[in-house]
């Protein structure tokens, strides 16, 4: 068994679904179910004995300690995090508490459990920590992409809190020998993405005939990674990564924000034309930029390809089309997220105590 924290969030739920579609090894899924945790993402697993869900905080050492002793996982995959930059600007304390304090408590409880394992089980154990390219800061237009050796230069409360958690994971390995792995991913997109992030927000607003807000001049550059490609990379790192190492995971798809929005509008024009015959691009509106907005991120993923043989399966064109189509096909999911009714899912379907 493996234990996944944050497995009801966007990337975490995709990882859980993909894992159980390809493996008979069960998953213990621990999620606090904050606003971005959505068990409706995992409704297809409701009767799957390989998925054990527990609502709880990874920083609750008593709960986590009990779960580790009861289920004896061979690995922990840590997705749990506050991850929205805009929210971190307005409420940085939540990010410090979750991304730093709770990650530290997770590491401490894991280390205590790991110390009780037989020698061979200790050697086989892995703690995989999911981080972000944002810890590296911002790149100028012609700068080379981030490598694993790039210095940390976080610019938002979110990225600063993730950088701190990365350092704690590194220290747990170098000081105590805990077999840790850290990954830095570029911007993810795909199914089950909470519609406060750029791509789902543009799709949902376009379909609702609302403005498509683009920060500043729209020329900020991001590297886009299809979420299922990210999940396949994480499985590979968990299987073959070297303890103590970090691996960058990117899609090799740099796009400006405005270029991305135009692509989404063009796809919607083809797949779901407006009744008035106009393009969705008429809904684009430029809005005041957010404070400290990083200009460019770009990931160099040569290490994971060279050492572990992984590279993304989707191009940006295939991935974004699949994503737009998924949202067109899942209007009920969008409605539940927007109305908040998705939060009733646990009360209706998960009544067993932890």
For the stretch 64-78, pLDDT in tens is 999 999 999 999 999
Residue 352, pLDDT above cutoff 90:
no
Place of tokens 């012609």: 142
In the chain the domains, ranked by start, together with CATH numbers, are 2-189+226-253+297-313+341-349 (3.40.50.720)
Q: Over pLDDT 70: what percentage of the chain?
A: 96
Identify the pLDDT of residue 204.
94
Give 19-78 pLDDT, tens digit per residue. Answer: 999 999 999 999 999 877 899 999 999 999 999 999 999 999 999 999 999 999 999 999
For 285, residues 6+ apart whose C-beta sits below 8 A from its C-beta are: 211, 212, 213, 214
Residue 345, pLDDT above cutoff 50:
no
> Model pTM greater than 0.85?
yes
Residue 340, pLDDT above cutoff 80:
no
Q: Smallest Cα–Cα separation from 209: which of 285, 267, 263?
A: 285
Give 173-200 pLDDT, tens digit per residue. Answer: 999 999 999 999 999 999 999 887 899 9
Which of the two residues, 37 and 239, has the higher pLDDT score? 239
Residue 341, pLDDT above cutoff 70:
no
User: Average pLDDT of the chain?
Assistant: 93
Identify the pLDDT of residue 353.
37
Residue 349, pLDDT above cutoff 70:
no
Helices marked H in the chain: 10-22, 61-71, 85-90, 92-95, 103-114, 119-124, 157-176, 198-207, 227-240, 257-271, 302-308, 316-329, 331-339, 345-349
SS3 assignment, position 246: strand
Identify the pLDDT of residue 339.
77
Q: Annotated catalytic sites, by residue? A: 133-134, 158
Q: Smallest Cα–Cα separation from 179: which of 214, 128, 137, 136?
A: 128
Would you say how long the chain is, in residues?
A: 354
Identify the pLDDT of residue 85.
76
Give CA–CA dist 233/235, Å, rounded. 5
Give 221-235 pLDDT, tens digit per residue. Answer: 999 999 999 999 999
Give 74-123 pLDDT, tens digit per residue. Answer: 999 999 998 767 788 888 988 999 999 999 999 999 999 999 999 999 99
For 316, residues 6+ apart whose C-beta sits below 8 A from its C-beta are: 224, 251, 253, 255
Q: Smallest Cα–Cα separation from 16: which of 186, 189, 235, 183?
A: 235
Q: Label residue 342 by pLDDT band (50, 70, 90).
A: low
Q: Smallest Cα–Cα separation from 251: which of 278, 286, 289, 224?
A: 224
Give 306-337 pLDDT, tens digit per residue. Answer: 999 999 999 999 999 999 999 999 999 999 88
Give 121-171 pLDDT, tens digit per residue. Answer: 999 999 999 999 999 999 999 999 999 999 999 999 999 999 999 999 999
């Amino acid at each position: 068994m493996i234990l996944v924290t944050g497995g009801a969030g966007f990337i975490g739920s995709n990882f859980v679904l993909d894992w159980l579609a390809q493996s008979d090894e069960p998953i213990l899924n621990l999620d606090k179910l904050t606003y971005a945790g959505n068990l409706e993402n995992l409704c297809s697993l409701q009767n799957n004995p390989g998925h054990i869900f527990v609502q709880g905080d990874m920083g609750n050492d008593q709960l986590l300690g009990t779960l580790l002793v009861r289920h004896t996982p061979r690995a922990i995959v840590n997705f749990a995090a506050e991850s929205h930059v805009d929210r971190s600007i307005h409420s940085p304390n939540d990010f410090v508490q979750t991304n730093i304090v709770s990650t530290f408590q997770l590491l401490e409880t894991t280390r205590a459990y790991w110390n009780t394992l037989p020698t061979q089980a200790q050697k086989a154990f892995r703690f995989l920590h999911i981080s972000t390219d944002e810890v590296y800061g911002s790149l100028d237009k012609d700068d080379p992409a981030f490598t694993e050796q790039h210095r940390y230069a976080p610019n938002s409360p979110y990225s600063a809190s993730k950088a701190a958690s990365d350092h704690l994971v590194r220290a747990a390995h170098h000081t105590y020998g805990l077999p840790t792995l850290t990954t830095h991913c570029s911007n993810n997109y795909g199914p089950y993405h909470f519609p406060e992030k750029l791509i789902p927000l543009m799709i949902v607003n376009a379909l609702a005939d609302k403005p498509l807000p683009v920060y500043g001049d729209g020329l900020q550059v991001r590297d886009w990674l299809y979420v299922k490609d990210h999940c396949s990379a994480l499985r590979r790192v968990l299987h073959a990564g070297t303890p103590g190492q970090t691996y960058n995971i990117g899609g090799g798809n740099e796009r400006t924000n405005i270029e991305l929005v135009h692509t989404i509008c063009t796809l919607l024009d083809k797949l779901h034309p407006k009744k008035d015959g106009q393009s969705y691009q008429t809904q684009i509106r430029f809005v005041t930029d957010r404070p400290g907005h990083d200009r460019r991120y770009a990931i160099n993923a040569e290490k994971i390809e060279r050492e572990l043989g992984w590279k993304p399966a989707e191009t940006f064109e295939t991935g974004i089309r699949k994503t737009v189509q998924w949202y067109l096909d899942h209007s009920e999911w969008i409605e539940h997220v927007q109305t908040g009714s998705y939060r009733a899912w646990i009360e209706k379907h998960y009544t067993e105590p932890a």
